[in-house]
Structure 1
């Protein structure tokens, strides 16, 4: 399975919806797409929706952590939402939830970011 990436912006928030598998085969492409979108749309916050992400390895964690560092260096924030149980467990084991916020839905995350 591959990775499908859907991106949209609302105000200064880049919403990234992932569908499929985020692994060493797809991580570099996602990194490039997100970096380009952050620069192009003057993004200040990232909302990462993982409802349809079914697999992720350490390469995927690296991409997410890298974009977190990129956006927080600008004073922004990253929120992960709609995360399925398999990926949730990976986030727990990696310790990412200690630094990245999680919300139940996109709407809830957008409220926190002030654009809903």
Structure 2
């Protein structure tokens, strides 16, 4: 139950690299960290999940809530680096139709759901 978040901003895009597991224990930490970013009109946020090795429905809830907050500011949220399993989780919940998602190259499958 380990989670790490690194922020690397490029130009006007706020980039977060999320590392580890997103579950009922770590999701509040992720939500708290994302809340530290001031959401302004037209903000652009990228969440890199290429090093997330586990995520449950609690993690999905964090992303849905954050997506709504960013959209309320006429902003853009991109979730990238999803391996096949995590992409499938977004797909079966219908979130892949709503959110902008960039799947990882090669579709690595190093995570469990």
RMSD: 1.7
Query: Aligned pair count?
Result: 103
TM-score, structure 1 normalization: 0.80
Partner of 2:88: 89
TM-score, structure 2 normalization: 0.82
Shift of 1:102: 1.5
Alignment of 1:7-86 (within 5 A): 7-36=7-36, 38-39=37-38, 42=40, 44-86=43-85
Greater helix share, structure number: 1
Q: Does structure 1 retain, via aligned residues, the 8 Å contact 2:83–2:103?
A: no
Q: Does structure 2 retain, via aligned residues, the 8 Å contact 1:8–1:15?
A: yes
Unmatched runs of 5 consecutive residues or more in structure 1: 106-116
Unmatched runs of 5 consecutive residues or more in structure 2: 105-113
**Alpha-carbon displacement from aligned partner over 1:25-79 (angstroms, at most 9, x marks no partner):** 011111111111x21x858111011111111111100111111111110000111
Alpha-carbon distance between aligned partners in 2 of 1:19 and 1:33, rounded to the nearest angstrom: 13
